Chain A
């Protein structure tokens, strides 16, 4: 299977980009930073080829469908969207140092995916729907935006903590990091991108559920957890927009929000049971 070969290569490329971003943070060499970004971009391109090939191969097998239908496929898609969303944010906000905190995600997720079964399986009738792509894609871009916000918020807390440490001055290193205002702003902006997408993801999911199962909301664990994630980020946005919650509190809520997102995505499939069993490891 050629798609798995390409996926395998992309794991290594993501690994190198992570190492390069961390080195960039440690050595602060501009050229190292450029190489890090280009390596991540290369990883994305190779993975894009891998996903397209897998899609094509499913057609050659006579069961053509978008590669978004089991745990393996959703993991590689998640890694892919995180890398892309991060590259866009890095370009827009010039926050290359955050890469060291975000690029571990694509690598770890891909490495984990390589441990799960990756055969191309035909679709059960419930998944044969045009809603599949819009539902999965919007949810995962939303998740990816939350992942980037998590990385940036983590960097924010790291920076603020280092700045407040008495005594030892690490001025040069800290000065190299983006200003805490920028980190705070990017942490918010990425949530402002992820929240509407998650909302669309939940609405398309509800619409699809109504067509497939005859009920738009059945409090199945996956639905409930997506609502929990939505409520947490809604609380974040209300606190931020109306009361100007910033800094530590906002960063903390972003971290809690992403932890809930991860549970919604992985925890529910691996630990709880319900209608969304397609994503399970079995």
Chain B
């Protein structure tokens, strides 16, 4: 029996008789097929994109990677602990966020594999013949008859089509002469560009985090360093030295910084190999390591004090290098400059100007920490001494961000491909256009023309309609 019945019969057989070993395999392939089906489904794509956006919001509400004390300031200790355990304080690097990104990457790979054969099919050159099959696939092919010689019609029509397309493929058959025009076949590859570019960007980001580093260093004017501090307080040796020859800042009248720049030298094996003045937006790169102007400041090198006794008589001036104990004249008490604040805030919030933190070491007694104010001598009486600040010798330093990112070129390559792919996908399409010239039974010239496209069908229909209208106007 042939018909629907037989199909049911064979199906039934299949269901009933499957050898044990094959049954497992079948189950397995069913399972894999099912997973594959989920992976390439649109639902998966849309859900992943929306889940990633919702998760990302969380990280903008809870500020990420702040010093712990700030979190304890904002939340209760047990909340901070919970947030930390859930990875919410560094969520963009948490295992669950990274897994979502990995799923997205797998999803892109699966969809690319799934699409590959279809795209490659579209990339194959179409038949250059306007045969019945091609004609049937067109929306509304035009047929125009002319009372002109064949050569004239051909010349004029191909001249018009030649303005819209590049040179056609011309084929001569029994049915007539066929002209095949094509444009933008390679735009079919835009799918690969837009999707693989994301993978390239991911690969770049992974390369950067595995083989690169981000560090930070302050260099005093005139000094050099050869290692920088990277994450977790580790030091990274650069393999060369970097010296800050000078540092300068310009200010606007408002007091806001206008421009700050460091004159840097790279020193390798005792020789200066590169010298450049860097500023914000203009870093220095050497051997794959880049130095960015990030901040600046100054630290005191030494402070000069005038010290008076109880009766107000001067005991003399003292030059105290930072971190060194020096004698107060006429006594066995020592003092040491330990801290420096350019803008000291009093407990009531008011500003007291420059203040110097000093440790006083009385002979045999416990050391005492005091603040000495440059512009408030009346506050500087401590025990039997009063201190006046005569001068502060400051050392300028430049703060540099120091990075090595061997994956960054991949990120830019991926970005460029992504933009190119998106442009192609939205604004270009694969257009095909055929013209057939023949003579009908009465010997009149008959032109059949029409086209197909893979995208923006409405715009293409308007474009071909205009083209065909110009064909009709040929006389």
CB-based contact B50/A235 at 8 Å: yes
B257 surroundings in chain A (CB, below 8 A): 124-125
CB-based contact B49/A231 at 8 Å: yes
Cβ of A88 within 8 Å of any chain B Cβ, yes or no, is no
In the complex, 23 of the A-B residue pairs with CB atoms within 8 angstroms, ordered by the A residue number, are: A63-B252, A122-B252, A125-B259, A125-B280, A125-B281, A126-B281, A203-B416, A203-B419, A206-B411, A212-B281, A212-B292, A213-B294, A214-B283, A215-B214, A216-B408, A219-B92, A232-B50, A234-B49, A238-B46, A239-B42, A242-B42, A243-B42, A272-B60
CB-based contact B401/A195 at 8 Å: no
Cβ of A117 within 8 Å of any chain B Cβ, yes or no, is no
Cβ of A273 within 8 Å of any chain B Cβ, yes or no, is yes
Chain B residues 49 to 76 lying within 8 A of chain A, measured CB to CB, are: 49-50, 52-53, 56-57, 59-61, 63-64
Residues of A within 8 A of B (CB): 63, 121-122, 124-126, 128-129, 185, 192-193, 195-196, 199-200, 203, 206-208, 210-217, 219, 221, 224-225, 227-228, 231-232, 234-235, 238-239, 242-243, 260, 268, 272-273
* Given A195-B422, A213-B292: A206 and B415 interface contact (C-beta under 8 Å): yes
A41 and B340 alpha carbons, distance in the complex (Å): 60
A203 surroundings in chain B (CB, below 8 A): 415-416, 418-419
Cβ of B166 within 8 Å of any chain A Cβ, yes or no, is no
A113 and B411 alpha carbons, distance in the complex (Å): 37
A223 CB to nearest B CB, Å: 9
Chain B residues 273 to 290 lying within 8 A of chain A, measured CB to CB, are: 279-283, 290
B293 surroundings in chain A (CB, below 8 A): 125
A126 and B401 alpha carbons, distance in the complex (Å): 14
B228 CB to nearest A CB, Å: 12
A63 and B427 alpha carbons, distance in the complex (Å): 39
List the 8 closest pairs (A to B, CB-CB), nearest first. A125-B280, A214-B292, A235-B49, A221-B60, A214-B401, A231-B53, A228-B53, A203-B415
Q: How large is the interface on B (under 10, 10 to 19, 20 to 34, 35 or more residues)?
A: 35 or more
Cβ of B243 within 8 Å of any chain A Cβ, yes or no, is no
A193 surroundings in chain B (CB, below 8 A): 426
CB-based contact A125/B260 at 8 Å: yes
CB-based contact B426/A192 at 8 Å: yes
Q: Which residue of A lies closest to B50 (CB)?
A: A235
A204 CB to nearest B CB, Å: 9
Cβ of B313 within 8 Å of any chain A Cβ, yes or no, is no
Which DSSP category, helix, strand, loop or mixed, fits chain A's interface?
helix
* Given A195-B426, A214-B283: A224 and B56 interface contact (C-beta under 8 Å): yes
A211 surroundings in chain B (CB, below 8 A): 281-283
A192 surroundings in chain B (CB, below 8 A): 426
Q: Which residue of A lies closest to B115 (CB)?
A: A242
Cβ of B412 within 8 Å of any chain A Cβ, yes or no, is yes
CB-based contact B258/A225 at 8 Å: no
A232 surroundings in chain B (CB, below 8 A): 49-50, 53
A221 and B59 alpha carbons, distance in the complex (Å): 8
CB-based contact A214/B403 at 8 Å: yes
Cβ of B238 within 8 Å of any chain A Cβ, yes or no, is no
Q: Considering residues B46, B256, B258, B292, which has the most beta carbons from chain A within 10 angstroms of its beta carbon? A: B46
B45 surroundings in chain A (CB, below 8 A): 235, 238
A246 and B426 alpha carbons, distance in the complex (Å): 17
B242 CB to nearest A CB, Å: 15
Cβ of B147 within 8 Å of any chain A Cβ, yes or no, is no
